[in-house]
Structures are given as C-alpha cells and as structure tokens.
Amino acid sequence: MSNPLRQVFNKDRTFRPKKKFEPGTQRFELHKMAQASLNAGLDLKVAVQLPPGEELNDWVAVHVVDFFNRINLIYGTIADSCTEQSCPVMSGGPKYEYRWQDEKSRKPTALSAPQYMDLLMDWIEVQINNEDLFPTNVGTPFQKNFLKSVKKILSRLFRVFVHVYIHHFDRIAQMGSEAHVNTCYKHFYYFVTEFGLIDTKELEPLKEMTSRICH
C-alpha cells in the first residue's frame, strides 16, 4: 500500500487482521515486486501485468491477499457509520441488493450491510488461509478450481467498493482520502479486467464512475 494510504487510514481500525506473506517465499518476493511497481508510480495498467517468467496463479494469489488487506482497511475507516440503522440492506443503491450465500446457507439471505461485511471478511479469510487453496510452499501446485474460487472472492470484494462508493463516499471525502480510495479501486479494476476475473455484469453498479476515473 502506498505511503499516503498508510497516513490516511488508521491501521488500528483495520476490519480484520492482515494476512501476511512469509519472508523468503516466492509469494513474498512477488508481493515485494508488485509493491515496488506501485510505489514507483508506474501506470497501474502496466503494474498489474504478469511479470515475464512468473506463474499466473502465483501473481493472482499475491494480489487477492493484497486486495483483501486494502479493502479491509477501506471498510474499516467507514465501519462506524455503516450500521444496522444506516444500512439495513447490503446494497449499492436502489437497483442492486446483495444477499449472502455460502456453504452453510442454501438460499441467498437478505442481510444488513455490516452483517454481510462481517460474514464476507470471515469467509474470505478462511479461503486465503486454506493451504490447499492458497499454498505457501514453493512447488506445491494450485488446485484446478483456484481461479474459479478467486473469481468468487474478487466479485464479492468488488461489492465492498460498490457499497462504500454509493453509500459512504461522503465519509471518505470528509477524511480527504478519496484520491487514495480511487487509486485502490483503479488498481483492483485494472487487475480483474486484465485477467478476466470478474464478470462484466458484476461491474455494472460502478460503470459510470469507472468510465470517469479508469481511462
């Protein structure tokens, strides 16, 4: 994460503990490479591209964890204004309602935004800490369903951006952090579109804003 973001966001308010990469691992080296590109101010469209000679699954795994940490941080900054009273429905404006469904719930369930976020962050944390799905040892192969699982994770993380932008952007602006949130969003958007990791239909709620800030 860039230094301005560290200054704007209070690290104590991160919504969930950060998942970290073990120093000395291939994943850690890729993480450092990705961070160096961002900190050097490279064009985000270029920064997300797969480095020559690297494996796609490794590159994707590093970014999924990184986006999870960043989006946790963004939601953490507005979490106290996202309550059962202010956001009784997890939505992105009147046209989009997001219902929760996982292995335990057979049908999509309507929840308040904070309830949905709580379940979402727990669910993603379980996925990225699952060694079978996100192996940390060099040479351990990824499962065949890795990218399919990642697409579900990223689609759901996108919903956090939708809710924050549509329902809590005034709070982000109040803190003077809209430029930094926009940078996080652009990085996320360029990454998922570079590798086709989110269905175009899922991106619809922020289509107009995306066309303005992502050129």
Ordered by where they begin, the domains of the chain are 3-213 (1.20.140.30)
Q: Is 214 annotated as a binding residue?
A: no
CA-angle at 202, arms to 19 and 74, nearest 5°: 35
- pLDDT-above-90 percentage for the chain: 58
> Cα(150)–Cα(159) distance, rounded to whole angstroms?
14
**CA 28 to centroid of chain Cα atoms:** 18
Unique residue bearing structure tokens 């369930």: 109
- Stated pTM of the model: 0.84
| Structure confidence by residue, pLDDT tens digits, 69-95 | 889 889 998 999 999 999 999 999 899
Q: Is 180 annotated as a binding residue?
A: no
Q: Is 87 annotated as a binding residue?
A: yes
> Cα(146)–Cα(143) distance, rounded to whole angstroms?
5
CB 41 within 8 A of CB 109: no
As a dihedral over the C-alpha atoms of residue 73, residue 76, residue 78, residue 80, rounded to 10 degrees, the angle is -170
Q: What are phi and psi of 97, to 5 degrees?
A: -120, 135
Q: Picking from 19-28, 57-66, 89-98, 161-170, which range would have the lowest pLDDT averaged per residue?
A: 19-28
41: left (phi over 0), alpha (psi -120 to 50) or beta: left
Unique residue bearing structure tokens 């796609």: 56
Q: Is 168 annotated as a binding residue?
A: yes
